[in-house]
Amino acid sequence: MITQLLTGEDTRFLAQQPEYETDIMVGQMTTLMQNITDLQNDTDDKVAQLQNQSWFKRMTNTLFGKNKVTKHEIQKNNDKVVTYISQSVAQLYNMNLINERAICSLGNRMNEVYMQVVESNQEMLNMKGQISQIMAVQQQTMEALGAFVNKLNEKIESVDNFHMLISEIQNGMYNDRSKLYNLCSILSQLDKRQMNDNRKMNLLIDTMKNKAGIITSDKITVLKCLQEIVALPQEKIGLIYLELCNFRNSFPAGLFADMIENYHFLSKMEKMSKKKEVIIQRVLDKYDLDSDALFSIEDISESFFENKQACLVDINNLQIEKNSANDNNTSSGNSDDELEPWSEELFFEKFEEFEKNDDDEGLFNFLKPYAEQGIPEAMYWFAFCYKETDSKKFIDYLTRAAEAGFSEAQCDLGKEYYYGNNVSENIDEAIKWLTKSAEQEDTEAMGILGDCFVEKKNFKKAIEWYKTGAEKYNNGYCQNSLGLRYYNGEGVKQSYSDAFFYFKKAAENGDSSGEKSLGYCYMNGYGTSKNLESARYWLEKAVEDGFESAQELLDELESYYDDYDSSNKTAESLRYWADNGDLDAMEDLGYALYFGELDDNFGVDGIEQDYNEAVKWFEKAANAGMMYSQKMFGDMCYNGEGVQQNYQRAMKWYKKAAEQGSGWACFQLYVMYFNGQGCSENHDIGMDYYYKACNYLNDGKEICPDCGSSDYSLEEVSSGAGKGAAVGAGAGAMFGLIGMAVGAAAGALINNSTTTNCRCNNCGYQWEKIM
């Protein structure tokens, strides 16, 4: 049985690394494994160089309980270090986090390490008086390595991508500015079989030279080569380093690998504080090179190809101890070696297939071997296979996944303890697991963790987590919960406006509890003006999104609407319903304020004339699309009542009302176009609006051009010269400038025949019948 040295926290750390960091990390790990027995011949600088790496600190903390160790301690415990690293690399492989292009490079290095361990183990077997405990550790190391190396070898043997590689080269997929990166990317995909095939190698080199221009004879200085390596971005360094370390006995490969270690392994702070030129010169001095020494990519590639071919392990002749694989067979009959590498894509593909076929047993059998391998995600999903049938096993696997550092498992386990589902309620255990999950940026855990602290009356901690989820991660549940703290004044100064602010954010993020809270605020005017329309919108949305208790508030709100009676208006009812967003009440209140309580048609007892307040309500209702309010708001802008006179603004609102069928708005637009008020004078457009006004106000019959009344008398008269001008002048004397303009327009229509004149019974204006 292989001892698992890799902890759940270590696994979580590995899973969180970016791809380019993973490549570099694997290169460093395998280099340490391959050279661990040679540390005694190296300086402490090599170990100090690794001390900067976060994975190395985590390893030494797990194995030795401290962040820094000496080279002597590493060498003394080399079996533990090799086992830990092999488990780490295997875990990365199982989680599908290793660059596909690097699999061959990794496989070769792991085979070399395995051969070293086997050789070391054989030497110990040949020695007398060895302690059995040491032998057991050696055997575990060999088994751990053997199981993983065997899996890698089978993967490499199952894939022959040579022809695809040739096609990719020909299609320009290896045209990075760095020829070294191109060269290493291609080399990393070659295994022993391909490199021993002269025909394939000749084709590959010819393609790289003559088709793609990757290999050239152009000379460059060694200084420029090293500067290029220093300038490479981190995401490219990992693959190059892993490949170079395979054949480091090649002079240029060793030089370039050293350059990577001396610069790219530095921390960000060290890179900023140290001069690149000094670091490069240090590497040049180590190899006794002048900066102007010349290389060509052709020279480098020849050395790389030759040394890689010599160092590749022939996996067909490698005998790997398979006891560990046999010992770890799952009860379902599948060994680890037969499993596809775990990935989320694989799981969801299989899950969809099993769900479609309603095959719970198939899902169980698929997940079991992965779960027994200790893969956190697999243990998490496997736990749910037991949720309805065996709560003990459900909690057991959920706990194992949580202990392995899987944040979703930690969150769900915390919820189980918080709500007392499948386990006894235990708020302290809930806080423990929810905290671990929240620290991994799980926003659901942040919200429930806040709830736990509210229950314990620790509002300070609750608000810390709510704020983190609400403000840093824009989580709706946390935003609503933070709003509730402001609403109740728990841990913060009570503030309805702050509560409304967070409720609104939560609702806009689709959180149903936030939608209910926001609807409640609009309904009662907490932190905002009462607005029943908005209240109804958000409460209906909360019910649609599954928050059933919002229906009670919605029912209460609907009863409010039944109480408004526009035929029985009072000052109190008008203001109440207008404040609550009732559009009819807004409009009625605007009329009451405009005309005052003494007006027979619109007056309401207790509401005095107030243009300033009237214009406010007309504008609100106008913006909500109420036609009469749009016309009245236009009138007030036109006349400067309660608002600064503004013809352009008046025309805008008259047009909105006219589009909805307001005849009086059309009449006002006719007057404005004739007088050039808020626009250029245009009689044609004016007459168009006049005809529309006639249609709306008098069933298509004409109306008084001066006041819009449909009450007028007709009389036959003889036409005469200057008659139109007289009519216009008379109108001007009676009605001022508007009458003169309208009269002149009407006069222009008069000819010298007998005509029918109209006299308005409302204003006395006379005009020749138009229609």
φ, ψ dihedrals at 7, nearest 5° = -90, 170
Confidence of residue 13 (pLDDT cuts 50, 70, 90): confident
Tell me what the mean pLDDT of segment 315-319 comes to.
52
Contact 470, 499 (CB under 8 A): no
Q: pLDDT higher for 6 or 515? A: 515
Q: Token pair for residue 187?
A: 């080399």
Enter the tokens of residue 246: 């395979």
Rounded CA separation 653/648 (Å): 9
Q: What is the pLDDT of residue 457?
A: 93
Count other Cβ atoms within 10 Å, centred on residue 231.
11
Distances (CA, A) of 60 to 34, 138, 390: 18, 19, 39
204 contacts 322 by C-beta, under 8 angstroms = no
Write down the pLDDT at residue 745: 47
DSSP conformation letters of 500-565: HHHHHHHHHTT-HHHHHHHHHHHHHTSSS---HHHHHHHHHHHHHTT-TTHHHHHHHHHHHHHH--
**Statement: residue 333 has pLDDT above 80:** no
Contacts of 15 (CB under 8 A, 6+ apart): 95, 97, 376, 405
Percent of the chain, pLDDT > 90?
A: 32
In the sheet where 766-768 sits, what is the strand order? 712-717, 755-760, 766-768
- Helix ranges, 65-161 (H): 71-76, 78-94, 103-126, 132-158
SS3 content of the chain, % helix, strand, coil (to 5): 70, 5, 30
| Position with higher pLDDT, 554 vs 271 | 554
Distance CA 447, CA 411 (A): 10
Which of 380, 410, 180 has the alpha carbon at shortest distance from 298? 180
User: For 119-153, what is each residue's pLDDT tens digit?
Assistant: 665 555 554 444 444 444 455 555 656 666 666 56
pLDDT confidence of residue 40: 44
**Residues forming a β-bridge with 294:** 221
Band (pLDDT 50/70/90 cuts) for residue 673 is very high
Q: Cα separations (Å) of 499 from 439, 442, 469, 484, 553?
A: 26, 24, 16, 6, 18
* Burial of 587 from C-beta contacts in 10 A (0-12 / 13-18 / 19+): buried
Q: What is the amino acid identity at position 496?
A: Y
Contacts of 74 (CB under 8 A, 6+ apart): 32, 36, 39, 47, 81
Q: How far apart are CA 100 and CA 107, in angstroms?
A: 11
Rg from Cα positions in the chain: 42
Q: Which pLDDT band, with edges at 50, 70 and 90, does 312 fall under?
A: low
Contact 72, 19 (CB under 8 A): no
Angle among Cα 482, 485, 489 to the nearest 5 degrees reads: 150
Distances, alpha carbon 237 to alpha carbons 56, 109, 312, 682, in Å? 18, 17, 22, 74
* Cα angle value 572/578/583 (rounded, 5°): 140
Residue type for position 363? L
Q: At CA 244, angle to CA 240 and CA 247, rounded to 5?
A: 160
* Angle, helix 198-206 to helix 297-311, in steps of 10 degrees: 160
d(CA 244, CA 235) in angstroms, rounded, equals: 16
pLDDT interval class at 642 (50, 70, 90): very high
Higher pLDDT, 28 or 282: 282
- Give the 3-state secondary structure of residue 760: strand
Helix (H, G, I), strand (E, B) or coil at 365: helix
Cα 319 from Cα 113, distance rounded (Å): 14
In the block, tokens 């702070």 appear at 269
- Tokens 């209906």 locate to 540
Q: Identify the three-state secondary structure at position 766.
A: strand
Residue-wise DSSP of 665-727: HHHHHHHHHHHTSSS---HHHHHHHHHHHHHHHHTTS---TTT--S-EEEEEE---TTHHHHH
pLDDT at res. 395: 93
Q: Which domains does the chain have, with CATH numbers?
A: 8-158 (no CATH), 162-317 (no CATH), 343-440 (1.25.40.10), 452-563 (1.25.40.10), 711-771 (no CATH)
pLDDT above 70 as % of the chain:
79
Average per-residue pLDDT in the chain?
80
pLDDT in tens, 694-706: 999 998 899 999 9
The set of residues, in sequence order, having a beta carbon less than 8 Å from that of 680 and lying 6+ positions away, is: none
Q: Is 220 helix (H, G, I), strand (E, B) or coil?
A: strand
Tell me which amino acid residue 581 is: G
- Residue 530 CA to residue 484 CA, distance in Å, equals 19
CB 375 within 8 A of CB 339: no
- Taking residues 396-409, what's their average pLDDT? 90
| Contact call for residues 452 and 427 (beta carbons, < 8 A) | yes
Contacts of 364 (CB under 8 A, 6+ apart): 382, 385
Residue 260: its H or E element: helix 251-263
Confidence of residue 275 (pLDDT cuts 50, 70, 90): confident
Report yes or no on whether pTM surpasses 0.85: no
Tokens of 50: 């690794």
Mean pLDDT of 749-755: 54
Q: Which two tokens stand for residue 696?
A: 């709306």
668 burial via Cβ count (<10 Å: 0-12, 13-18, 19+): buried
Look at 127-131, 367-371, 413-417, 529-533 and tell me which has the smallest mean pLDDT. Answer: 127-131
Range 651-677 average pLDDT:
94
Q: Apex CA 104: angle with CA 100 and CA 105, to 5°?
A: 100
pLDDT of 158 higher than 70: no
Asked whether the beta carbons of 5 and 223 are under 8 A apart, the reply is: no
Distance CA 184, CA 562 (A): 78
3-class DSSP state for residue 221?
strand
pLDDT band at residue 330, thresholds of 50, 70 and 90? very low
- Report pLDDT for 633: 95
Rounded to an integer, the average pLDDT of 430-450 is 93
The helix or strand, by DSSP H or E, that contains position 31, with its residue range, turns out to be helix 19-35
Band of residue 49 on the pLDDT scale cut at 50, 70, 90: low
* Distance in angstroms (rounded) separating the CA atoms of residues 229 and 226: 5
Residue that wins the pLDDT comparison between 313 and 22: 22
> At 764, which amino acid appears?
G
Ramachandran class of 619: left when φ > 0, alpha when ψ lies in -120 to 50, beta otherwise: alpha
**Residue 750 predicted with pLDDT over 80:** no
**Using 50, 70 and 90 to split pLDDT, how confident is the model at 322?**
very low
Region 163-182 average pLDDT: 81
Write the CA distances from 396 to 384, 427, 592, integer angstroms: 11, 18, 72
